[in-house]
Structure 1
Amino acid sequence: MAVPIALEAVHAGFPSVAQDYFSGDFSFDTNVITHPDTSFIVRVSGTSMTNAGIFDGDLAIVDRSLTPQDGDIVIAALDGELTVKRLISNTSGQPVLHAENSQFPDIQLYFDESVTIWGVVIGNYHPQCERATIRMNA
């Protein structure tokens, strides 16, 4: 579904005079999800990524066609359990799943573990008011 997109950017500082017209429609399918055949959306549960701006209840947009790189936020299956974390390398060059909340430990990955990176998180949707409910078909 396409929604209207304004011509002007909204200022987060001093307000500007509002424009009464729009530049056309904006489709998330077309403009955000660049690889629809290899993308999916997953609901986030928990608070381990709050310092990355990903909160409990958010929808994460995941692209499976992207090769995970150091610093990417990824969805990983670790021993059959899904988690969202930042993929980094430690000083020894070993991969680490890093939580963006100091209350959660890093997960050191070893070659003998059953780990699958499901995809790279390319964005997330976080509602800004209680009335902005997120509906997902089951």
Structure 2
Amino acid sequence: MLPLDVGGVWLDVCGWLVPAGFPSPAADHTEERIDLNQHLIRNKAATYVFRVKGDSMTGVGIYEGDALLVDRSIDPKHNHIVVAQLNNEFTVKRLHRRAGVVQLMAENPSYEPRRIKEEDDFVVWGVVTHNIHKLC
């Protein structure tokens, strides 16, 4: 877990959509500036950054080294991607809750679902709201 710096992060925003084809000749012009904190963080006091270790969530684009924004103030629901604490270890998985059965589901077929048992020490620590993935 990394501390969250709540200072402003301002970036220029282009006022047009970017086609996945040829670049626009107006690419050097911006129309406004945005604060990433306002767009990525709902509740600053309850938001944390976790670094990902492992490959269990690659099926949804979460890779080792990615930074996850995790909000502890969001009520975890079925199908949310969550950071959970299971028997004193943190893990990121998809939360599956149906008919009284709770499971943590990996997004990689190499990993089996983990059914939560009554004797497990289990808590959903927070809900993943964004994944920051470095491309180069």
Pairwise same-fold verdict (TM > 0.5)? yes
Equivalent residue number for residue 118 of structure 2: 111
Equivalent residue number for residue 32 of structure 2: 24
Q: Matched residues in 2 for 1:26 and 1:47: separation?
A: 32
Q: Matched residues in 2 for 1:15 and 1:93: separation?
A: 51
State the SS of the aligned residue for 2:31: strand
Q: CA RMSD in A?
A: 1.3
Equivalent residue number for residue 77 of structure 1: 85
**1:48 aligned partner, one-letter code:** S
Q: Matched residues in 2 for 1:124 and 1:67: separation?
A: 19
Q: Matched residues in 2 for 1:17 and 1:24: separation?
A: 17
Q: Matched residues in 1 for 2:96 and 2:59: separation?
A: 16
Equivalent residue number for residue 2 of structure 1: 10
Q: Decide whether aligned partners of structure 1 residues 81 and 16 sit closer, same or farther in structure 2, where only a CA change above 3 A counts.
A: same
Residue 46 (1) aligns with residue 54 (2) = yes
Q: State the Cα distance separating 1:111 from its structure 2 match.
A: 2.9
Q: State the Cα distance separating 1:16 from its structure 2 match.
A: 5.0
Equivalent residue number for residue 56 of structure 1: 64
Q: Matched residues in 2 for 1:23 and 1:110: separation?
A: 53
**2:60 aligned partner, one-letter code:** A
Unmatched segments (≥5 aa) in structure 2: 1-8
Percent of aligned positions with the same letter in both sequences? 32
Q: Matched residues in 2 for 1:5 and 1:111: separation?
A: 49
The number of residue pairs the alignment matches comes to 127
Q: Matched residues in 2 for 1:56 and 1:5: separation?
A: 28
Q: State the Cα distance separating 1:17 from its structure 2 match.
A: 2.5
Equivalent residue number for residue 6 of structure 2: none
Q: Matched residues in 2 for 1:30 and 1:51: separation?
A: 28
